[in-house]
């Protein structure tokens, strides 16, 4: 595998985000899911960090609407994702229909980091 300047910078940029992921988002959450676009290097790196914390991960692919409906039908306590805008909007819409609310959205170029949780959390 050839290391390019872009891949090195993307990897270096993901390290602080991945380091903060478990402290901010997953702490104390027993039923969480991390959805990611495998074509976004930061998404794949964050998925690896999430798996290290025992969080289930799901690579986005195929029929995204069906995938989003299946995710929210399982009623996870927290759904976090790193994707492109179209997938983020789709998951937010399907999540809203399933009774979830957007807790956070951060935009970094083409990457959107989003977090959804049930509206009626205890």
Average pLDDT, the chain: 83
Q: Which residues of the chain have pLDDT under 70?
A: 1-28, 121-122
The pLDDT of residue 13 is 44
pLDDT of residue 122: 56
Sheet holding 78-83, edge to edge: 56-59, 32-36, 78-83, 111-118, 100-108
Exposure on the CB side of residue 101, measured as CA atoms within 13 A: 5
Distance CA 107, CA 44 (A): 17
Q: Which residue has the tokens 């690579």?
A: 59
Helix (H) or strand (E) holding 88: helix 85-97
Contact yes or no for 38/44 (Cβ under 8 A): yes
Q: In the prediction, which pLDDT does 27 show?
A: 61
- Residue 85: per-residue pLDDT: 95
Q: Residue 114's domain is classified under what CATH number?
A: 3.40.50
Domain that holds residue 65: 5-118
Degrees, nearest 5: CA angle 71-72-75 = 110
Question: CA-CA distance, 65 to 11, in Å (whole number)?
Answer: 30
What's the number of CA atoms in the CB half-sphere (13 Å) around residue 60? 24
Using a cut of 0.85, tell me whether the model's pTM lies above it. no
Number of domains in the chain: 1
């Amino acid at each position: 595998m050839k290391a390019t300047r872009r891949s090195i910078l993307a990897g270096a940029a993901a390290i602080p985000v991945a380091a903060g992921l478990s402290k901010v988002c997953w702490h104390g959450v027993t039923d969480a899911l991390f959805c990611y676009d495998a074509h976004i290097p930061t998404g794949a790196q964050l998925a690896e960090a999430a798996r290290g914390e025992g969080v289930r991960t799901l690579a986005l692919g195929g029929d995204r609407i069906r995938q989003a409906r299946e995710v929210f039908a399982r009623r996870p306590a927290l759904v976090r994702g790193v994707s492109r805008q179209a997938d983020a909007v789709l998951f937010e819409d399907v999540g809203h229909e399933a009774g979830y609310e957007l807790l956070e959205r951060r935009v970094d170029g083409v990457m959107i980091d989003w977090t959804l949780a049930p509206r009626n959390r205890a």
